[in-house]
Amino acid sequence: MIKLALGAALGALFAVAPAAFAQQAFPTPLAAAEALVDGVARHDDDAIARTLGKDHAKFLPVPRTSSEDVTTFLASWAEARRIVPAGDAKAWLEVGRYGWTLPIPIVKGTSGWSFDVSAMADELRTRRIGRNELDAIQVMRAYVDAQDEYKAGEGRGRYATRLVAAPGKRDGLYWPSKVGTPPSPLGPYVAKGGPYEGYRFRQLPATDAAAAGGVPVFVGWPAKWDDTGVKTFVVDRDGVVRQKDLGPESAARVREMSVYAPDASWQKID
């Protein structure tokens, strides 16, 4: 009798368990989003599993310990949230004031709306590329700032022709400095060529133009094409940055560059 009851209970448990972890579909994208956020806010693994599927920990592990990412997300959700449709069968959850969207799209299936976790990895890569490219553009401009600073100080009116100074000298943009003394114009992470924020950097060899007072041309290209970045950037003396996609062989093509001929295929960034 007891065995029978136990068996029935176990059977019931097995019958319920798969249902609890199967990814659920929702009548609207917003309902799906609310279910997910509710699960995250409660640290409720089962609830998250219902929205993202049983492998949810791979995509959205919700730590039991304090996590700045989770609390920031929840605070931003409380502040503003919006469903941004992309066509009839796809939508994004926008959260907070800066237009951020959850990198997991909500897609329409036969039974309703659900999160498409398979799309997340690629979406994260797209964002990484965007972020790195924006940062790399700033690095290009910061390089010109560093050259200006060098010219006004150590360079005594001349731009640096080397990124890293010769040992014991200050004939480049970066030299190791002692604690408590002013740092060199450029930091080691860029001066040594990266990778820094997913980009590598190089200065074209000094030429006559450089000797005549011009800044050497500075190039930044993605450390891993279509993964850490797509565009290759060059900057001139006035801080004007241009971009071009040099393709999967970006690194090799940058290595071949010896002079900078900015034809129309190099797009100017305003």
Residue from the set 8, 9, 12, 78 that interacts with other proteins by CB under 8 A: 78
Is residue 112 within the footprint of other proteins (CB under 8 A)? no
Is residue 65 within the footprint of other proteins (CB under 8 A)? yes
Compute the distance between CA of residue 230 and CA of residue 223 in angstroms, rounded to an integer: 9
The C-alpha angle 96, 102, 104, rounded to 5 degrees, equals: 165
Stretch binding other proteins (CB under 8 A), from 7-15, 21-29, 105-113, 194-202: 194-202
CB-hemisphere CA count at 13 Å for 21?
10
Q: How many residues bind other proteins (CB under 8 A)?
A: 113
Compute the distance between CA of residue 214 and CA of residue 225 in angstroms, rounded to an integer: 30
- Binding mask 173-192 toward other proteins (x if CB under 8 A, else -) reads -x-xxxxxxxx-xxxxxxx-
Residue 61 Cβ vs other proteins, minimum distance, rounded to whole Å: 6
Residue 2 Cβ vs other proteins, minimum distance, rounded to whole Å: 43
Nearer to other proteins, 88 or 208 (CB): 208
Q: What is the DSSP string of 218-257?
A: EEEEESSBTTTBSEEEEE-TT--EEEEE--TTHHHHHHH-
Residue 56 Cβ vs other proteins, minimum distance, rounded to whole Å: 10
By CB under 8 A, what part of segment 19-58 binds other proteins? Answer: 41
Q: What is the SS3 assignment for 207?
A: coil
